Structure 1
Amino acid sequence: MPALYGHRFSSYTWKALIPLYANGTEFEFRDVDPGAPDGPANMDFVRKAHPAGKFPVLADGDATVIEATAIVEHLAVHHPGAAPLIPANPAEAAVARMMDRVFDNYVMGTAQLVVNAYIADAQNPDPEQLDLGRTGLLRAYRWLEGWLADHSLPPHVSLVTCAAAPALFYADWVERIPEDCPRVAALRAEILALPPVARCIDDARPYRHYFPLGAPDRD
């Protein structure tokens, strides 16, 4: 049985959990939270498995898979199900992988600039980093709004869903999706209502106090 090492509040752990839930794949979740019974031991495994000691990590038989995108790809090959994680058409698959990078790098990655500034100094976060993050998110939202006007995303649950769900969930906590991006806001609402995503949201509720900016009273 596959084992996923991660934390239920972690955006990239969500990215790996969503395809497992969507396809009903049997797996064991190995919590790295320090307060979990095996948390320290699970984190030791992660540190040995990943060059930067980051989670999630998937252990599946003889395979150890690091990086959430690679985990989704691995699951698509070795544990397929009803959810079309990777489009069968190569051209559509290329678009899915492109959008996966957009959500990881320019939505989640940009939001992380603000989060990291608060982690570094919660009382006096670096204003330059705050501006970079929030300005960058607005730029990413507006790019997505334009892209969604002319293109369609693969059916849920795909690699794009797995990347977009945690990215849009947490990014909107950092910088609200503006009114001039209704397609992006609608996509967020649509994805968060999907059962595999809603499960991640609910399982993460006990950890909301971890959010450095203070979790908003919504979602």
Structure 2
Amino acid sequence: MSLTLYSHPLASFCHKVLIALYENGTAFRAETVDLGDPGSAAAHMERWPVGKMPVLFDGQAKRVIPETSIIIEYLHEHHPGPVALLPTDSEARLQARLWDRFFDLYVNVPMAKIVTDRIRPQGKSDPFGVAEARDLLDTAYGMIDGQMSARHWAIGDEFTIADCAAAPALFYAAIVHPFRDDQHHLARYRNHLLERPSVERVIAEARPYFSMFPYRDAMPAHYLNG
């Protein structure tokens, strides 16, 4: 088995790549990175000095691949499967890349800002930054609701890299900053994502770690109990 994914089962960006791997039944070895463990953290910094997860290692090519979108594109080119997460049509591919970045930058990142602020040391919180993050999520939610008014998946009828990004971002974001009651298309899309087998598998694998999530108290009971 040539592929190893270094990740953490609670991390939303790691979920994005796991969804892509599970969609195509790609064989890989999973290794959990524990940044609280000096040895594990040092080994991961050796792989990718930025220290972010996930990171993919292709043992056959002797190559380290960081960054979620790059990992998924690498898998598409070098370890393809039955589900083409990058469309062949150039315009559709551009839209898939656009909405992939949208969910990463305008849903996942502000969601993470809100989550991590809850566990900052006393006196080190950033209420202004959290308010900005919530405002950004409000804008993003409105745009997604409009985008999904006439679509099955993020860019159309096919599941793509954009949906891999959307699923974990919206899963966590809806917990820390709930959708408005009138955002029916957004809620329908989030629910549709959660019914996807690859997404169900990722959430099931993360469930034992949900007790570590800073907003565990806001998680619906069925997320915790399955």
Q: TM-score, normalised by structure 2?
A: 0.87
Partner of 2:146, secondary structure, is helix
Report the counterpart of residue 160 of structure 2 in structure 1. Answer: 158
Of residues 188, 195, 198 in structure 2, which corresponds to 1:196? Answer: 198
Q: Give the Cα–Cα distance (whole angstroms) in 2 for the partners of residues 58 and 154 of structure 1.
A: 29
Q: 1:34 to 1:121 in 2, by over 3 A?
A: closer
Report the counterpart of residue 46 of structure 1 in structure 2. Answer: 44
Q: Give the Cα–Cα distance (whole angstroms) in 2 for the partners of residues 23 and 127 of structure 1.
A: 41
CA deviations 1:136-173 (Å, max 9, x no partner) are 21111001112223666244542011100110001011
Report the counterpart of residue 107 of structure 2 in structure 1. Answer: 107
Give RMSD over aligned pairs. Answer: 2.1
Report the counterpart of residue 78 of structure 1 in structure 2. Answer: 78
Q: Give the Cα–Cα distance (whole angstroms) in 2 for the partners of residues 95 and 40 of structure 1.
A: 41
Q: 1:204 to 1:156 in 2, by over 3 A?
A: farther
Which AA in structure 1 matches 2:148? L
Gaps of 5+ in 2: none
CA contact (8 A) 1:50 1:66 kept: yes
Q: 1:94 to 1:205 in 2, by over 3 A?
A: same
Report the counterpart of residue 217 of structure 1 in structure 2. Answer: 220
Q: Give the Cα–Cα distance (whole angstroms) in 1 for the partners of residues 39 and 127 of structure 2.
A: 37
Report the counterpart of residue 6 of structure 1 in structure 2. Answer: 7
Percent identical residues? 35
Report the counterpart of residue 29 of structure 1 in structure 2. Answer: 30
Q: CA deviation at 1:55?
A: 1.1
Gaps of 5+ in 1: none
Report the counterpart of residue 180 of structure 1 in structure 2. Answer: 182
CA contact (8 A) 2:6 2:53 kept: yes
Aligned length: 216
Q: Give the Cα–Cα distance (whole angstroms) in 2 for the partners of residues 4 and 174 of structure 1.
A: 27
Q: Give the Cα–Cα distance (whole angstroms) in 2 for the partners of residues 207 and 172 of structure 1.
A: 18
Partner of 2:9, secondary structure, is coil
Q: 1:41 to 1:213 in 2, by over 3 A?
A: same
Partner of 2:220, secondary structure, is coil
Q: Give the Cα–Cα distance (whole angstroms) in 2 for the partners of residues 45 and 156 of structure 1.
A: 38
Which AA in structure 1 matches 2:93? A
Which AA in structure 1 matches 2:185? R
Which AA in structure 2 matches 1:9? L
Q: CA deviation at 1:177?
A: 1.3
Q: CA deviation at 1:128?
A: 1.7
Q: Greater CA deviation, 100-109 or 54-63?
A: 54-63
Matches within 5 A, 1:92-131: 92-121=92-121, 125-131=125-131
Q: Greater CA deviation, 154-163 or 14-23?
A: 154-163
